[in-house]
Amino acid sequence: MTQMLPMDDHPPQARPFAYAALSVIYGWTSRCIHVLAGAGVYDALGDEPETAAALAARTNVNADALERIMRLLASVDVFERLADGRYRHNEISRCYRSEHPIGAGAIALVQGMPLLQAAMSDFEISLKTGGSSLAKFAPEGLWAYFQKHPEEGRAFDAAMTNQSVMANEGLADAYDFAQFRSIADVGGGQGATLAAILAKTRDTKGVLFDLPGVVAGVKETPRLKVIGGDFLTEVPKGSDAYLLKFVLHDWPDDKAIEILKSVRKAMRAGAKLLVIEALRPDTPDFHLSKIFDISMLALVGGRERTEAEFAALFTQTGFRFERVINTAVPIAQIVEAEAVRPALRTPRRPTIPRTPAPRPELPARPSS
């Protein structure tokens, strides 16, 4: 969005204040994007320009409010507002249509959910405690909440699937997965990532592992085995490589260590661990992972990590950090590690007690 912070409109001495003020109130812009997704406005607007009033009539919203919202969004490059007051899609607003492959509309629906908005509203909880602000509204956790609210859960699953599919496009081409006879995708959902990888290899077989309810509808094939279970308890053994894609960022360090130890128990020495996440650069520059990091903090108490932070986790869990491989998608880097043999302890020699030699008796001193 090229016009989101138009600093050139302000004299130089006023620009710091203008930037600070605009940064604070731009939450309203995001909220406008959310509510239009919920109302179906992006899908209602077709290939031909239309007025806000016409769109409002078809989506059952207030015409004046819609005009004002679309006017704002057009000013930040979401929609194009024509000279006659009609609106038409541009390349950004089209991303929010339900059939668009990027699936930004599903993400907007999720971000606009009352539960997530409440977590954002009470984000001070995270600031004070270092934990999830969402826990105030869903003490049982995000995943349990979605099990009790299946409609919201389906919207969340759709958003995560779209994000995963987008990452998969660059993932399968960025790494030589054909070197492995078998790859286990731990916490692999319904198998979209593994399917993309197997499509790029000829002989590699896959093991899809996630909670039983998640993988229940996935069909096995001659090259795909499906196993239900809990990665905090036990992980299937025997694969040459193990994937953890967008898993560890859901958890704080103590739980991430628990997961990695569970995976390590299933691996032979020399097997590869491939963690796919939005690696957070340890630089002051803007990066999407820094936004995701705050989202993880508020929603689940997790975090995005740097290369050094992953290396430290690996050292504590029986892995050796190898390298980072970039993909064509900025939100997905591959962090490669190798399972190492436990360090052998040199047995201590038994201590043989020594009997002290008898002290020689000194001759008696002559009496004077």
**pLDDT tens, position by position, 352-362:** 555 555 555 55
How is residue 12 written in tokens? 């130089």
Q: What is the DSSP string of 1-12?
A: -TTSS-GGGS-G
C-alpha distances in Å from residue 197, one per residue of 103, 223, 237, 361: 21, 12, 20, 86
pLDDT at 162: 75
pLDDT at 368: 43
Q: Tell me the mean pLDDT in the region 317-342.
A: 94
Rounded to 10 deg, the angle between the 288-300 and 114-121 helix axes is 100
Q: Given a cut of 50, is residue 293 above it in pLDDT?
A: yes
Q: 119 near 134, Cβ under 8 Å?
A: yes
The domain ranges of the chain are: 7-111, 153-339
Helix locations, 200-252, DSSP H: 212-215
**pLDDT tens, position by position, 165-177:** 778 878 989 999 9
CB atoms inside a 10 Å sphere around CB 176: 9
pLDDT at 163: 76
Task: Please tell me which residue in 10, 89, 149, 249 is annotated as part of the active site.
Answer: 249
Looking from the CA of 84 toward its CB, the CA atoms found within 13 Å total 5
Return the exposure string of 79-110: e unless at least 16 CB atoms fall within 10 Å of the residue's CB, then b: bebeeeebbbbeebbbbbbeebeebbbbbbbb
pLDDT at 3: 47
Distance CA 245, CA 333 (A): 10
Q: Given a cut of 80, is residue 279 above it in pLDDT?
A: yes
Q: Given a cut of 70, is residue 115 above it in pLDDT?
A: yes
Distance CA 203, CA 46 (A): 45
Pairing of strands 319-326, 333-339: antiparallel
Q: Tell me the mean pLDDT in the region 261-274.
A: 97
Distance CA 324, CA 174 (A): 11
pLDDT at 13: 59
* 153-339: CATH superfamily: Vaccinia Virus protein VP39 (3.40.50.150)
Q: Given a cut of 60, is residue 214 above it in pLDDT?
A: yes
Q: Which helix (H) or strand (E) holds 96?
A: none
Altogether, the residues listed in the chain come to a count of 368
**Among the four given CATH numbers 1.10.10.10, 3.40.50.10490, 3.10.20.30, 3.30.230.10, the one describing domain 7-111:** 1.10.10.10
Q: 302 near 251, Cβ under 8 Å?
A: yes
How is residue 107 written in tokens? 């993400």
Q: Which amino acid is residue 368, in one-letter code?
A: S
pLDDT at 20: 63
Mean pLDDT is lowest, of 82-96, 221-235, 265-279, 346-360, for 346-360
Reported in sequence order, the residue ranges of 192-281 that DSSP labels E, i.e. its strands, are 205-210, 224-228, 241-245, 272-277
Task: Write the Ramachandran bin of 14: left for phi over 0, alpha for psi from -120 to 50, otherwise beta.
Answer: alpha
Distance CA 184, CA 237 (A): 9
**pLDDT tens, position by position, 185-211:** 999 988 989 999 999 999 999 999 999
Supply the mean pLDDT for the chain.
88
Distance CA 214, CA 206 (A): 17
Is 249 in the active site?
Answer: yes
